[in-house]
Chain A
Amino acid sequence: MQVALMVPCYIDMFYPRVGMATLELLERLGVDVVYPKEQTCCGQPMANSGCYEEARATEEHCARVFGPFDCVVTPSGSCTHHIRNKFTAGADSAEKQNLVRNTYDLVEFLHDVLKIREFPWATFEHKVALHTSCSAIRGLNMASMSERVHDPVFSKPRALLSGVSGIEFVEFERVDECCGFGGTFAATEEAVSARMGYDKLAFMQKASPDCIVSSDMSCLMHLQGCAHRQKQDIPFYHLAEILNGVSL
């Protein structure tokens, strides 16, 4: 199976190790991965700010680069949600429709398409505080939502991580409350955003995890920024790194 790897702009710049882990993990699973070199970004930062005009060219470029592939995988629930549900800034085209239909977050791809549950090469004997982004939960239905009290409880990221030997999860309060990143919200409402981040960290820290893990690096970029400012040195990992066998 051939898969085009989409590496979100902020991962490319700040967290290349997450892109590497995703690539290696997919190759380990026997997937034929191509990395289209012309890729940049899905346009979410602009569209999310209401600036559709400014998002158009980036979105159309993204559709041109990834449109020809039958399957596109990205280690970001936020970008997947944007492409699948909010890709309306650019002109409609066959390429775009193809991309919208064929884009998967890494978690969805592993959990729903490849249906992988075991990661025998990985061991992680640590306590994890798992954060799942709002895009992943409420946008992509990757985990149950606390507001929907009658729905069965599930979490695809947790189901995958449970396939890593030795891993333990800590439970913390307000598990699916937003961490406060929110894209450009992080800058336009910096005070509220930072407070939400500090609060999220405090709830997690109360449960004494060894590290914080998420399938969305953008949430972690924000939370890590908050943690560093507070002189907390807890490590942060993308889910792909754990599944690929990183050691603490």
Chain B
Amino acid sequence: MSSPVDQAKNAEKFLADTVHEERLDKLLWTMRMRRDAAARQVPEWEELRTLASEIKEHTLSNLSQYLIQFEARATANGMIVHWARDAHEHNQIVYEILAEQGIDALVKSKSMLTEECELRPFLERRDIRVTETDLGERIQQLDDQPPGHIVGPSIHKTTKDVAVLFSQKYGSDPNNEDAAYLAGVMRENTRPDILKARAGMTGANFVVAETGAIVVATNEGNADLSAHTPPLHICSVGIEKIIPTTESLAVFVRLLTRSATGDAITQYTSTFRGPRKGATMHVILVDNGRSTRLGMKRFWHSLKCIRCAACMNTCPVYRRSGGLSYGSTYMGPIGIIMMPTFELRKYSELPFASTLNGSCTNVCPVKIDIHEQIYAWREVMEENGQIQVVKKDAMRVAGKVLSHPALYQIATATLSTALEVLPHFAIYNRLNAWGKHRDIPEPARETFHEWYRNRRRKTDEVTRL
């Protein structure tokens, strides 16, 4: 059993490097401002959010029916549809498709699902070389790091970081931080892989049941290159990505990019209806814990997520911690409520990496009550004995003092013991956590309670006179 990810400690490390922290905070806050501006342009924005939420809830409530409909249509369109119960089954299916044709190299566009399934290491262990074609994802691959953000995987890196990394991996100029130059380096180095690839892989943003179509939204066009150049296209998709109709797709397309980056739409929104002439197209429908989550009364709503990352961009904790601090595939507010469904203990500390300020819930284009779910997860952690012993002990003391007026008054009445109550839940974790970067408030000479008692006594005396 793995020990819990210490997000707080990882965040502290990230914060120590002010250059990266300040940059990430500003960059993502700009995204949030761009999102606000884009939403302002759409008068029916809140209605769209409601509609999107209702479509997702309806689809998730009739999931099996829509999946079966999709399978029938996609098959009729000439796709080969697979079902994967979990990550291993998914990876095995991909491997077998490739192995059957003796393919030892794969180009792929960004897919959080393949990150979740840890597909890349699985294939690499079987001598299949994988080239990520999304710039940010490629940067993370070269740096041997998972994505730090679900839309911009390497958003926590500066252009200087990338220049140094590319110089080590590609022999480019370490001092040239020009973004266009760096994108050019990446292009020169990955384009040959794409051109000679015999298999390409993509994820999917939406899957339309009515038409059996797959929809992929990217800005770099790399998904189209990866899917169209080789004669074999494998598409992995989580079962929650399904929507009923092309008409409903319009609602999501309007919301997705505006929420993510503030643009009206991505550069490429591609619909794949079936294989090209002479090519093969496989679709793998992946569960990997989704149907279990669908059965969770308090938490199934997180399946509505369309992966726009608006919740990360607005989250004041994420912006100051960096995505890698969560030690998980999905990070930020949505990651906090999704990850414990995969591994409760490992992600038991994540629900505490939030101030419960609620901004995430307000920006979510499909109206997931994210901060309410974070709150609910804390209770689940408590129910499952996942709260640290020191914290639990401190809470027990606080709970005892605060439920007994006499104890409370004794504890707060004198200057020295007044500090016992607040710092008890402030100090429990690390030595005087409150006081590390902040001054501790000075206890008053007289509590309100004492003041009131004395004042009332005087008033009563006056009345008697």
Listed in ascending order, the chain A residues whose CB lies under 8 Å from chain B are 7, 9-17, 19-20, 23, 35, 37-41, 43, 45-46, 48-58, 60-61, 86, 134, 137-139, 145-150, 174, 176-178, 180-199, 221-222, 224-226, 228-229
Contacts and interface: CB of A to CB of B under 8 A. Distances in A.
B399 A178 contact: no
B379 A52 contact: yes
B433 A188 contact: yes
A55 to B, nearest CB: 6
B152 interface: no
A207 B316 CA distance: 21
Interface residues of B, number: 79
Nearest to B406: A38
Contacts of A221: 441
Contacts of B363: 147
Name the residue among A55, A177, A189 with the largest chain B CB count within 10 angstroms: A189
Nearest to A19: B448
A180 B315 CA distance: 11
Contacts of A176: 359
Nearest to A15: B444
A49 B36 CA distance: 32
Interface of B: 7-8, 11-12, 15, 21, 25, 29, 36, 39-40, 43, 45-46, 314, 316-317, 320-321, 351-359, 361-363, 375, 378-382, 387, 391-392, 395-396, 398-405, 408, 412, 418, 421-422, 425-430, 433-434, 436-444, 446-449, 451-453
A187 B426 contact: yes
Contacts of B429: 187-188
B447 to A, nearest CB: 5
A46 B441 contact: no
Contacts of B418: 13-14
A189 B351 contact: no
A12 B449 contact: yes
Contacts of B356: 48, 134, 182-183, 185
B113 to A, nearest CB: 28
Given A188-B8, A188-B429, 13 more contacts: A9-B408, A9-B421, A14-B418, A37-B452, A37-B453, A41-B402, A55-B395, A57-B403, A147-B362, A149-B36, A184-B391, A189-B7, A190-B434
